[in-house]
Chain A
């Protein structure tokens, strides 16, 4: 298998740091053969986030798992599930890595349609599972599938495919922009019916981001961006539920035990953490005060237990992942592999925007909405989707390197 040989090569080259000539040539320009076959920086950053996520999910969930009947009072309930999801995600990622980007491009429309179908199915009463007033899950035996998480990958793939196909008409509003617009409106409508406002924001950002990167007319784009912003504002103002969340974010201390409850506890967790945190496992906020500590508000627990140092590490690792994704995308575009390049940047945009929104929410910079921290928060579909997305990113990188060496993607 290609991947197996890649890994062996990777390990050999890792061990080969003693060979100064090769290392030096790797650092020298892009014309020489790359010293490594995969982007190690990206891998280490992602692995770091995944492992830190695993530890922090355990730490954040231990008290609620131990104290709840629904988890049968097992302290490792969430740890065990997160580890299994991670294993499944890595397994699926290895499989995704095997698939050439050309194949992904072929599959993109079909996957997107499948994603839309799943989004419709999840809305059918009796099939979609409702939790806390949101119908977002499909019950698949022992696990639940969240189609909106998969839709994020599919949206990145489809938007890239669409852009590449319509590259020549990107300047045209009607031909280049409107069809995508219609598709996104459909997906957006389905997501808001669940409702899953967070996924809606992320998927819209991915789709329009890729379109923007693909060269859509700037004036049209700006115009539409303005329209979109107005749309968001209308959406927010028409739903009391979303408006409340906005007010909670503006001043959590106004109604600290009501609407601002969750955010105020998140902020307290940050304040308690100070520079180096209260120590792993020492969080008080996770002891039933901070709701969703192991999912949406995982960063607050990191901030309390590991302090500013921990938060800085997480922000830096995400920035590194996003940065590498864009670099990989740029490399691909330079090699005129536009689809691969746009997919890579789309994935970078996804991880960047979702992590920013989640962390911004945790710190009270953004209104509270249900978005997990990519690669870290507890949640099966999310972790699996993130792992597959990383695998695709690595595939793009690997193909880039193969081409640069004169091989074929």
Chain B
């Protein structure tokens, strides 16, 4: 067969003519020409035009990536850490890729402490990208990564940790998931704390994964550390004093603030109820409220010493000037002002000591409305402190022109005007500091403290210290404010709360004072909102809190006692009498 064909083939006469030999050569040449063209083109692309092409490529897959800066720490005045950022991870998913077996979903839900149904709902969401859980602790994140589930990814983020927990909650505030300050110091100092994110140029694949780190454009600058003026120990003892008062008097809320007289630093600032900043689930507005800054309240009798001081400063009265408080009732226009007890004729100092409304009004009546307004304004009432705290209140101080005589009278004993607790505490610096007022500071003051603004003469301040020491001593309204080993001075307040424009039978008990009375180091202000366990006088509710805080603070600061450590002159029996201060009500 084969042979036959070969023979046929070779003997076919028509095949004598050869195939043209030039044709394959032409085709070969053409194909080799093509190869040369390819080589030439490759030379051009890879050796000549490569910069242009690489630039085009860069523009497609080079990305500038933000390198997060670590948020700065917050410390107390001694450098103890109050807030620190710890690395955690966010677990996210690409739902399109995350086809998981039911068993895998259950395992993932168990690790993330999530509901299986909730996890499935997230994975079924019609989005390209979904967070499954954020702020996952590193060890849990590692366990999730070890599952090697398709479409489940992680990224680094930071979680703010507050070692002080609820003790520091209100002063520090907190940050949101993106590490931005939301409340408190975290918000007030957000710029300083957050630092500046750096940038890197990286190459990403089309799915966004980084495949190559090209260069660092700018290193991240970590946030600055902020050293607060707060003293951790004082803060803690103020908080425990407040917690005790919360248990004893069952009030709606309470707050306290401790100021350093020399520098204007805030040594402690506490609120109750409080919250755990490390676990902010189920928070209520009441827990979050920083009452020291945000709540303006009618201060009541704690206002009286300023009126007395102004009358003293203006020479209208002296400490021993007799003032007739009559039978404990006094009529101005159609309104009646009353004292809780009839005091008869008493000295100006006793008016403050016994907290007589009538005596105070009589001093106020010797002063002009404009004069009083100017005093209030100088003391900082009606003006926010501008410490950067969110929601800081200015209090309420109406212009003097609009004051009616009865209003001027009630304002003298702290009604018809409102202030925040921190404004009131600061105002008491004028007595503690030889008549000067200094700006407050939430951060540690390292240099020389800023000089103050004079409100009263040093002499007036000194005389007022004597009066206020009397108020906190035997025969005063706040004998329970006393501290073993130290002289204290201060004033109680028991104000009716305004509800719907009427004064209700609800009270805000307060005490603002300083110690040691002979050479003041601290101002302590305490406010208890609606005590509901029977007692409501500032002298019985707020003064003991003041006493506890003051005693602990002075010992912590190492202030030398200015009084022999004899048994207290505090007589149990005198307690109720001492507390019977002049609470009052406007009856119009």
Contacts and interface: CB of A to CB of B under 8 A. Distances in A.
Interface of A: 63, 67, 69, 73, 100, 102, 167-168, 209, 212-215, 253, 256, 264-265, 267-268, 270-275, 284-285, 287-289, 303, 307-308, 311-312, 315-316, 318-319, 322-323, 326, 329-330, 333, 336, 338, 341-342, 345, 348-349, 352-353, 356, 359-360, 363-365, 408
Contacts of B206: 287-289
Contacts of B14: 167-168
B32 interface: yes
Contacts of A319: 31-32, 35
Contacts of B207: 67, 287-288
Contact of A315 (B2, B20, B35, B53): B35
Given A268-B53, A270-B46, 16 more contacts: A213-B24, A270-B53, A271-B49, A271-B53, A272-B50, A273-B46, A285-B57, A287-B207, A289-B60, A308-B42, A311-B38, A315-B38, A322-B28, A322-B31, A363-B42, A363-B45
Contacts of A253: 56
Contact of A330 (B24, B57, B212): B24
B121 interface: no
Nearest to B42: A311
A28 B9 CA distance: 30
Contact of B27 (A168, A289, A303, A345): A345
A356 B46 contact: no
B49 A356 contact: no
B241 to A, nearest CB: 61
Nearest to B97: A69
B189 interface: no
B60 A312 contact: no
A167 B15 contact: yes
Contacts of A274: 46-47, 50
25 contacts: A63-B205, A69-B99, A102-B6, A168-B15, A213-B19, A215-B20, A253-B56, A265-B60, A267-B45, A267-B56, A271-B57, A272-B50, A274-B50, A275-B46, A284-B203, A287-B211, A288-B206, A308-B43, A315-B39, A315-B42, A330-B24, A338-B19, A353-B31, A363-B41, A365-B38
Interface string B74-111: 00000000000000000000000101000000000000
A289 B61 contact: yes
Contacts of A273: 46, 50
Contact of B57 (A272, A333, A349): A272
By CB atoms of chain A within 10 A, which of B27, B31, B50 has the most?
A: B31
B27 A349 contact: yes
Nearest to A320: B35
Nearest to A351: B31
Contacts of B6: 102
Contacts of B35: 315-316, 318-319, 356
A323 B32 CA distance: 8
B2 A100 contact: yes
A253 B52 CA distance: 11
Looking at A168, A271, A359, the one whose CB has the most chain B CB atoms below 10 A away is A271
A270 B15 contact: no
Contact of B52 (A167, A271, A318): A271
B52 A326 contact: no
Contacts of A338: 15, 19
B280 interface: no
A380 B316 CA distance: 110
A334 B24 CA distance: 13
Contacts of B19: 213-215, 333, 338, 341-342
Contacts of A348: 31
A272 B56 CA distance: 10
Contacts, number: 152
Contacts of B209: 287
A116 to B, nearest CB: 25
Q: Which 8 A-B pairs have the closest CB atoms?
A: A271-B53, A287-B205, A288-B206, A168-B14, A270-B45, A268-B57, A352-B31, A271-B50
Contacts of A359: 38
A280 to B, nearest CB: 15
B10 A336 contact: yes
Choose among B23, B28, B47 the residue with the greatest number of A CB atoms under 10 Å from its CB. Answer: B28
B23 A308 contact: no
Interface in B95-143: 97, 99
A252 to B, nearest CB: 10
B391 interface: no
Contacts of A285: 57
A264 B211 CA distance: 21
A316 B34 CA distance: 11
A363 B494 CA distance: 89
Contacts of A364: 41, 45
B37 interface: yes
A388 to B, nearest CB: 21
A316 B35 CA distance: 8
B149 to A, nearest CB: 11
Contact of A326 (B24, B38, B41, B211): B24
Contacts of A356: 31, 34-35, 38
B50 A326 contact: no
B54 A268 contact: yes
A248 to B, nearest CB: 15
Contacts of B368: none
A272 B59 CA distance: 13
A318 B35 CA distance: 9
A213 B46 CA distance: 36
Contacts of B97: 69
Contact of B38 (A69, A102, A272, A363): A363
A82 to B, nearest CB: 22
Contact of A336 (B9, B99, B203): B9
A272 B99 contact: no
B5 interface: yes
Contacts of B23: 212-213, 215
Contacts of A352: 31, 34
A318 B211 CA distance: 33
Given A215-B23, A308-B43, A360-B38, A267 B53 contact: yes
